[in-house]
Structure 1
Amino acid sequence: MRDRVQYLSGGTVHTIDGFDPKLTLLDHIRLTRRTTGTKEGCNEGDCGACTVVLGRLRDGAMVYEPVNACIMLAGMIDGCELITVEDLAGPSGLHPVQAAMVAHHGSQCGFCTPGIVMSLFALYEEGVRPVTRQVVTDQLAGNLCRCTGYRPIIDAALAACAGEVGGAAARDRAAAATVLADLADEEDIFIGNEQRFFAAPASIDALAELYQAHPDATLVAGATDVGLWITKQLRDIAKVIWLGRVGRLDRFVETPEALSIGATVTHARAEAALGGIDPDLGELMRRFGSRQVRASGTIGGSIANGSPIGDLAPAMIALGAKIYLRMGSEGRAMPLESFFIAYGKQDRRPGEFVVGVAVTKLRPDEAFRCYKVSKRFDEDISAVMGAFKFSLLDGVVADARVAFGGMAATPKRASATEEALIGAVLDDGGTWTRALDAIAEDFQPIDDVRASAAYRGEVARALLLKALVEVAGAQSEETRLIGRREASHVAA
């Protein structure tokens, strides 16, 4: 068992020990390391001023991803390479991204600039070429700039990422990979005492044993929600069990018939495979938070959190997903919709944790649609999210699964609507009316600052109508801001 966290930064291995379990990475960077180029802005993972890049060894290769340091716990960088804005310029001068920001006047007050530079640095290192304006705006969805405006920043990104990664700016990936491989071990981490600790089990058996002994501990995967408990709600979280070292939880298995996703697989890793099930699912994932959020947030964390306005759960419910749980040595499975009991309450016993989810892929006779409605297009919480799967036989709906987020205290299936859809004829809109009216039987929508109950009810009805219109044959370009063809391209 190890009593410290170790990571690579600036070519040197650093260790952290004896720290408080709720210490954030941002506080470690600014207050302990005294590298203050990384800024604190919103402190909730929205503005991007705190963006840093983490390098991880994945399948034998280095992968660099932007993350929000303000809501990531310091202990979560174990075994990673941490790159901050101070690390970019070298003896030969500025990094190409920094030089392009200067040349294209991409900064005014400069407070947000370090985070923007780090997001663009990750894009540069990703090596995707050519880089289009859409790719850049997706990369910057989690970075706000109130002074400069985005045109010069986007111009800088396009200029910096026009060529191949290389030259003086090229990172020594092989050297970093060697160090991270040396740091990798199968030791459990435990820092603290029985009353207050940060722990990171290295196996699923060690996790099960530790969580049974401390069922009051907070399980942390990506911390995109738990981080807010610390920075906004000021909760004193005494016991943290981080799941990032549990190897079996990050498994990702795809067959021609199904997709099995471990609880700690991030949204970024799952994005392409989910988009392969259907382009709408790929577009949903593209709009799931920001690059920083998707690089940290996990599939299991999103589901275990049980938010009524989470986007992923309704889509997976419509696809007929199953969830797998474990407590001690015992495991169990259930349909995903059965996991959500009431607001903030899931069918998860003390000491029990989510292992993963499994989604069956679409058959040739099935059609799927899902839509997210929010005030902002990027990085916004849904007012209503609707997901629809229709089994079709000669142009008639033989079976249906319909689920909504934002309409109730939990992600919920619309059983009356599903029943009313059976027998609906795609070529006869008059046969759809009963199903459209049945939404009012299934839901008495919630009413909050994001949307009124009346608005949600009308939107849910409109989304079902939209799905039926599209499945009946309307071109998506007539009904979308972005068509299914473009969504498929973006997801890929």
Structure 2
Amino acid sequence: MKLLLNDELIEDNTLASDYTALRYLREKRGLMGTKEGCASGDCGACTLLVGALEEGELRYTTLNSCITPIQSLAGKHLVSVEYLSQQNALHPAQQAVVECHGSQCGFCTPGFVLSLASLYEERQSTQQSIDRESVCDAISGNLCRCTGYRPIIDAGLSMTQVEPDYVALLSQNHKVKQTLSELESSASLADDGSKSRNYVQPQNLAQLIAAKKACPDGVLIAGGTDLMLENTQRYHDFDDLIDLSQVTEMTTIQDDGQYLTLGASVTYADLETYCQDKYPHISGLLSRIASRQIRNRGTLGGNVANASPIADIPPLLLAFDADMQLLNVDGTTRTVSINDFYQGYKQTLLATDEWIVSFSVSLEKLAQCHRFYKVSKRMEDDISSVMLAARFAIEDDKITEVRLAFGGMAGTPIRAVNAEQALTQVSVNDEQALQRAIEKIRAELHPMSDVRASSRYRLDMACNLIRKAWLALNNQEAVTFSGHAVSDTLLITGNEETNHA
């Protein structure tokens, strides 16, 4: 493993495959600014700034170091909070936090500072302004236990106004660019991706197959945002890990005029950026998944293969009848429909030594009316109580096809097939058909009760979300309320304004 940590070139081949970046910083390098708060990627105290070369440009993003294997960051530039200040001058993010009194107890402050620094670096390099929305997005994965968000947000908004004696943007550091370029070249020359060692990063599918054959018991890891909880929460030690995050064929987004193909290792953040202008409803849903740090690491394939009934990507793919391309270690491939993929709770069609390579979605279906609604107790960094992904095909003012896919309603992501049929081949504005569909929902779905919501609440919310989607189809405003229900604020987001129920 070779990487650049702050201004020091590191080479270390002695680490366990699941040794986290957080442990490495604190235990091996004595960099105590990075904190451990939750060890599950929820609080952001361990936030790390990571730079990578993308098409020759140096781009920095944040991630949760507590659930990131240090070896997954090979060839990258790791920036801890200690390195932000240069030549006795504070970074604008640091200076703004000082001037706005944004540090209270101070435990979470390094994470907040690095999240704000990432936003500052990005917006300065692209010459874009910083507004409240972008600041809140940047710190969405950072929790302040002192409830002092106002001065922290003030600091984010004032970063571009402070005038410290700062040298230059991190992304303009030519020495770092040169070092990462050299690391990239040396890695491609020295590593064929098939060597048997405890952490392997294949660069293409051929290398991935070779790595899996050489290490048949190796565990596949992409973003690791869920898998690494086995290590940090349940104290399970992994032996060999095979990293999918660099496999070229699995990290691309392609539009061939008929289908949009999404690599299984495409991150939420990459898809969010791609969809921002083309498919704003999808981008809106993605902005509700976890936090900025998690979206920078988490992948589509991981979310689907994990087979969680409360995952947000499966209902989206169900709504579009996506096809999945699977690859076996023996080199054979097959295509399956997402509608057939889930066999039961945590059970899928994936065979032993088989993995998801990509997803294909029809551009024609993407062009049809679609909406996504997620209900959760917090706006960011929270799991769905209920999620609906809806799609309507319209022809001559008649609904010709409907998809109503739910998360959080059963042991698997599920479609409400009977309700779909009730809304098919009817007029777009047929309210009686809508009422029949809602009645079908109540008869068809039997949601679970757990700590997030009761069965009755989930069923009521599912019916209301279908009505909301139908109103959007008819270009009508849904009735919204703002306030608190009992002691929880339940947030519903689609393309419309945020609603409180």
**Could you state the TM-score of these two structures normalised by the residue count of structure 2?**
0.90
Residue 142 (1) aligns with residue 141 (2): yes
* Superposition deviation, residue 302 in structure 1: 1.2
Residue 81 (1) aligns with residue 77 (2): yes
What residue is the counterpart of 2:20 in the other structure?
24
What residue is the counterpart of 2:167 in the other structure?
168
Deviation by residue 1:138-192 (Cα, 9 ceiling, x = unmatched): 1111001122511111111111135899952422433222211111132146787
Alignment counterpart, residue 33 of structure 1, candidates 19, 29, 32: 29
Matching of residues 372-387 of structure 1 within 5 Å: 372-387=374-389
Matching of residues 10-159 of structure 1 within 5 Å: 10-127=6-123, 129-147=128-146, 149-159=148-158
Q: Distance in 2 between matches of 1:136 and 1:44?
A: 23
Residue aligned with 2:48, SS: strand
Deviation by residue 1:436-491 (Cα, 9 ceiling, x = unmatched): 1122343221221111112111111111111011111203686897673779xxxx
Go from structure 1 to structure 2 and tell me whether the alpha carbon gap of 1:205 and 1:15 turns closer, same or farther (over 3 Å shift): same
Q: Distance in 1 between matches of 2:164 and 2:55?
A: 20
Matching of residues 180-219 of structure 1 within 5 Å: 180-184=180-184, 185-186=187-188, 187-188=191-192, 197-219=198-220
Residue aligned with 1:432, SS: helix
Question: In structure 2, what residue type is equivalent to 1:183?
Answer: L
What residue is the counterpart of 1:490 in the other structure?
none
Question: In structure 2, what residue type is equivalent to 1:289?
Answer: A
Question: In structure 2, what residue type is equivalent to 1:370?
Answer: F
Q: Distance in 2 between matches of 1:486 and 1:165?
A: 38
Go from structure 1 to structure 2 and tell me whether the alpha carbon gap of 1:307 and 1:481 turns closer, same or farther (over 3 Å shift): closer
2:375 and 2:492 in contact (8 A); partners too = no
* Superposition deviation, residue 434 in structure 1: 1.7
2:422 and 2:433 in contact (8 A); partners too = no
Question: In structure 1, what residue type is equivalent to 2:433?
Answer: T
Which shows bigger deviation, 101-110 or 329-338?
329-338
* Superposition deviation, residue 7 in structure 1: 0.6
* Superposition deviation, residue 104 in structure 1: 0.6
Question: In structure 2, what residue type is equivalent to 1:473?
Answer: N
Go from structure 1 to structure 2 and tell me whether the alpha carbon gap of 1:365 and 1:132 turns closer, same or farther (over 3 Å shift): closer
* Superposition deviation, residue 277 in structure 1: 4.8
Residue aligned with 2:208, SS: helix
Residue aligned with 1:462, SS: helix
Q: Distance in 2 between matches of 1:41 and 1:364?
A: 40
Deviation by residue 1:25-71 (Cα, 9 ceiling, x = unmatched): 10011101111110000111011000011101112211100000000
Percent of aligned pairs sharing the same letter: 36
Question: In structure 1, what residue type is equivalent to 2:63?
Answer: V
Residue aligned with 1:70, SS: helix
Which 5+ residue runs of structure 1 have no aligned equivalent?
Answer: 488-492
Go from structure 1 to structure 2 and tell me whether the alpha carbon gap of 1:277 and 1:312 turns closer, same or farther (over 3 Å shift): farther
Residue aligned with 1:53, SS: strand
What residue is the counterpart of 2:484 in the other structure?
none
2:3 and 2:9 in contact (8 A); partners too = yes
What residue is the counterpart of 2:292 in the other structure?
291
1:48 and 1:142 in contact (8 A); partners too = yes
What residue is the counterpart of 1:349 in the other structure?
351
What residue is the counterpart of 2:485 in the other structure?
none
What residue is the counterpart of 1:177 in the other structure?
177
Residue aligned with 2:66, SS: coil
Q: Distance in 2 between matches of 1:378 and 1:10?
A: 30
What residue is the counterpart of 1:246 in the other structure?
247
Q: Distance in 2 between matches of 1:341 and 1:417?
A: 21
Go from structure 1 to structure 2 and tell me whether the alpha carbon gap of 1:100 and 1:375 turns closer, same or farther (over 3 Å shift): same
- What is the root-mean-square deviation in Å for CA atoms of aligned residues? 2.3
Q: Distance in 1 between matches of 2:33 and 2:231?
A: 22
Residue aligned with 1:44, SS: coil
Which shows bigger deviation, 326-335 or 116-125?
326-335
What residue is the counterpart of 1:402 in the other structure?
404
State the structure with bigger RCO (CA 8 A, min sep 6), 1 or 2.
Answer: 1
Go from structure 1 to structure 2 and tell me whether the alpha carbon gap of 1:214 and 1:361 turns closer, same or farther (over 3 Å shift): same
What residue is the counterpart of 1:462 in the other structure?
464
What residue is the counterpart of 1:323 in the other structure?
324
**Could you state the TM-score of these two structures normalised by the residue count of structure 1?**
0.92
What residue is the counterpart of 2:415 in the other structure?
413
1:321 and 1:358 in contact (8 A); partners too = yes
Matching of residues 298-309 of structure 1 within 5 Å: 298-309=299-310
What residue is the counterpart of 1:266 in the other structure?
267
Deviation by residue 1:57-115 (Cα, 9 ceiling, x = unmatched): 11221110000000001111011100000110111411111111111100011000000
Q: Distance in 2 between matches of 1:450 and 1:148?
A: 23
1:319 and 1:389 in contact (8 A); partners too = yes
Which 5+ residue runs of structure 2 have no aligned equivalent?
Answer: 482-490
* Superposition deviation, residue 254 in structure 1: 2.7
Q: Distance in 2 between matches of 1:481 and 1:338?
A: 28
* Superposition deviation, residue 210 in structure 1: 2.7
1:279 and 1:485 in contact (8 A); partners too = no
1:6 and 1:16 in contact (8 A); partners too = yes
